[in-house]
Amino acid sequence: MNWPDLSMGGYGFYVWGSYLFALVAIVWEVLSLRHRKKALANEARRAVADDDRPAAVRTTVLRGSTNETTS
């Protein structure tokens, strides 16, 4: 195995810049989805807890908002 020249024959900035951007893009996508999944799980947990409360004080969670509405 021969290690590649890290300076990439003078093109290091461009080569590593490209791969760094790719890494950032993929990590961003994975982390943002993980965050979205967690938020959904929390919302579901809250909804389950809500169902145990009397109907008059139930919280209805609608998309993107956490308005307290009584049904």
Binding site for other proteins (CB under 8 A): 1-5, 8-11, 14-15, 17-19, 21-22, 25-26, 29-30, 33, 36-37, 40, 43-44, 47, 60-63, 69, 71
Residue 33 contacts residue 46 (beta carbons within 8 Å): no
Joined together, the tokens standing for residue 20 give 């760094």
- Tokens 């950032």 belong to which residue? 24
Shortest distance (Å) from residue 21 CB to other proteins: 5
Identity of the residue, 56 or 62, whose beta carbon is nearer to other proteins in the bound complex = 62
Shortest distance (Å) from residue 53 CB to other proteins: 14
In terms of C-beta density within 10 A (0-12 exposed, 13-18 middle, 19 or more buried), how is residue 61 classed?
middle
